[in-house]
């Protein structure tokens, strides 16, 4: 509650997560987003959809597998390793947390005084997230990534894996992730990449029109991070995905 910009008088958390979206606050769902809000996709997301879809886009078998991806997130965000005897008590935001797969991986890198907050707009995804066992270092919020419900500069680290390409306005979401990050805080993104190939531009636009997904060009994310004051940029290109991140200020 201390992290929230406007804590509600009465916390609506009967579902196991804090619901901060009123009926009129929900972003209009694109076709891709509608799938995320269905009941079927959240059920098969972690075991089927993510490993197949993400691994192909990352260039399986050459690209990093899911465990390597999670280790990269912990390392880029300066969290501990799961086997470390002492881990930092950091406050971390996981934007577009889906069923909490990345949230739980991040929580493996924080100490007992830390907290990882998973935020997602989809109630069906969050239902899956809260069904998984979680300790005191995880909490879930239903909210919109483009209007994060948190105070300025309260998080040590922000992660957004598999979310940016789904947002209506990814740059507004990036602005807000930056707003809630402390100076010196770290950001890690994993999102779709538009390969530098002939016809990739028009193909990306067509995919965007049909699905609502955005594919980001190689320099686009780097520039967006630089413009928002990130330094020590990190960028890792894969066939159809990219990791990008940096340190704020
Ligand atoms: C592909 S899942 C990613 C889950 C997890 N982070 C991962 O890497 O596997 C994308 C999530 O973004 C969420 N999402 C899409 N638009 C959103 C928005 N405007 N605000 C918050 N979450 C959003 C969807 O509901 C979905 O759960």
Strands 91-95 and 155-161, how do they pair? parallel
Q: Quick one: pLDDT at residue 201? A: 81
pLDDT at residue 212, as a whole number: 85
Amino acid 11: pLDDT: 80
Q: What pLDDT was estimated at residue 85?
A: 96
Give the number of the atom of ligand 1 that is nearest the alpha carbon of residue 159.
6
pLDDT confidence of residue 4: 97
Which of 221, 220, 207, 194 has the alpha carbon at shortest distance from 32?
207
- For residue 97, how far is its CA from the centre of ligand 1 (angstroms)? 6
> Quick check: CB of 121 below 6 Å from ligand 1?
yes
| Separation of alpha carbons 103 and 139, rounded Å | 9
Alpha-carbon gap, residue 39 to 172, rounded angstroms: 28
Distance CA 20, CA 83 (A): 35
Whole-angstrom distance, CA of residue 239 vs CA of residue 63? 9
Which residue ranges make up each domain of the chain?
29-248
167 touches ligand 1 (CB under 6 Å): yes
The DSSP secondary structure of 21-80, one letter per residue, reads --GGGSPPPPHHHHHHTSSHHHHHIIIIIHHHHHHHHTTTTTS--HHHHHHHHHHHTT--
- Determine the CATH number of domain 29-248: 3.40.50.150
**Residue 163 beta carbon below 6 angstroms from any ligand 1 atom:** yes
**Tens digit of pLDDT per residue, the chain (249 long)?**
999 999 988 887 889 999 999 777 788 888 888 988 899 999 999 999 999 999 999 999 898 999 999 999 999 999 999 999 999 999 999 999 999 999 999 999 999 999 999 999 999 999 999 999 888 999 999 999 999 999 999 999 999 999 999 999 999 999 999 999 999 999 999 999 998 877 778 888 888 888 889 999 989 999 999 999 999 999 999 999 999 999 999
From 25, 99, 121, give the residue whose CB has the most ligand 1 atoms within 8 Å, as the site to mutate. 121
Q: Would you state the structure tokens that stand for residue 207, as one six-digit string?
A: 């995919």
Q: How far is the CA of 84 from the centre of ligand 1 (A)?
A: 29
- What is the Cα–Cα distance from 231 to 220, expressed in whole angstroms? 15
């Amino acid at each position: 509650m201390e992290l929230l910009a406007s804590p509600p008088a009465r916390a609506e958390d009967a579902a196991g997560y804090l619901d901060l979206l009123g009926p009129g606050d929900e972003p209009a769902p694109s076709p891709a987003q509608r799938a995320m809000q269905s009941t079927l996709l959240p059920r098969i997301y972690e075991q089927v959809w993510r490993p197949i879809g993400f691994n192909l886009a990352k260039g399986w078998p050459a690209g990093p597998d899911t465990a390597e991806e999670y280790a990269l997130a912990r390392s880029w965000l300066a969290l501990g390793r799961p086997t470390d005897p002492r881990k930092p008590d950091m406050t971390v935001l996981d934007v577009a947390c889906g069923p909490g797969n990345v949230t739980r991986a991040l929580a493996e890198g924080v100490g007992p005084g830390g907290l990882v907050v998973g935020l997602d707009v989809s109630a069906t995804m969050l239902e899956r997230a809260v069904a998984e066992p979680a300790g005191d270092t995880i909490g879930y919020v239903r909210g919109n990534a483009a209007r994060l419900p948190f105070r300025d500069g309260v998080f040590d680290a922000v992660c957004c894996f598999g979310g940016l390409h789904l947002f209506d306005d990814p740059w507004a979401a990036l602005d807000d992730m930056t707003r809630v990050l402390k100076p010196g805080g770290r950001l890690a993104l994993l999102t779709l990449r538009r390969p530098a190939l002939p016809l990739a531009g028009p193909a990306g636009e067509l995919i965007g029109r049909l699905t609502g997904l955005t594919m980001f060009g190689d320099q686009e994310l780097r520039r967006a991070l630089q413009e928002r004051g990130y330094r020590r940029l990190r960028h890792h290109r894969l066939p159809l995905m990219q990791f990008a991140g940096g340190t704020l200020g």
